[in-house]
Amino acid sequence: MAVLVVVEAVAIALLGILVCGLLRSHAEILRALHRLGIGEDGLGPPAAVAVAVGSPRARASTVSAAVDIVGATPTGEAVQVGVRSARQDTLVAFLSSGCSTCAEFWRAFAQPPAALRLAANTRLVIVTKDSAEESITRVRELAPPGVPVVMSSQAWKDYGAPVTPFFMHVDGPSGAIAGQGTGGTWAQVASMLAQARGDEFEAGVDRQLLAAGIQPGDPSLYPSQRAGGA
């Protein structure tokens, strides 16, 4: 009997050591995620992260095509925002009323539209989760004038938004996700979007040149050099 008691005590001690180790490991993982800014509650201001569509990087949504956003306004009216086959692009901002990092964006979006420096053909739409998961009163207080705010948990699922805040740029005519990412400030996100627009413009020019049979290094791309050599 004494042997059994000793064996049981040793087993319990070993189990305790194992549990402590697991808890310590779990805490380290949580701290690492916190430093990266990963987490649905948006803890910590993440650095701006631009994510290419289809990229395996963290924070990326796997959704490649947009769907119309259906939900309710902060005042309770049913609403549907069409983003597919639209004449303009849409920047979808996934925010929360309780996210500390999101507060920066709620304040930024309350500025006059010109201060946001969005492209002329791009509109902003804010999406929160619905009233079962958000404070509708707080969302109503935060909603910027003139900016559509849709409360829709379904939209979060449709777009696969992995964290908050999170932004997805939808190309209106094609309905494709042109870019996505997150940041700690609007300045970071705006810079990310401007860079993405520049990259897309250059890619579009390259596609048009290739379609016309003009390869990189073609002499027709350097008329000044051709004239100088004549």
pTM of the model: 0.66
203 CB-side CA count, 13 A: 7
CATH architecture, range 49-211: 3-Layer(aba) Sandwich (3.40)
Type and span of the H or E element at 167:
strand 166-170
pLDDT tens digits, 78-130: 999 999 888 999 999 999 999 999 999 999 999 988 888 888 899 999 999 99
Amino acid at 69: I
Task: For residues 185 and 192, give the distance between their C-alpha atoms in angstroms, rounded to a whole number.
Answer: 11
Residue range 126-167, pLDDT digits in tens: 999 999 999 999 999 999 999 999 999 999 999 999 999 999
Residue reference for tokens 């250059």: 202
Total count of residues recorded for the chain: 230
Side chain identity, residue 58: A
At residue 45, the pLDDT reads 44
- Three-state DSSP at 149 gives strand
8 Å CB contact between 167 and 91:
yes
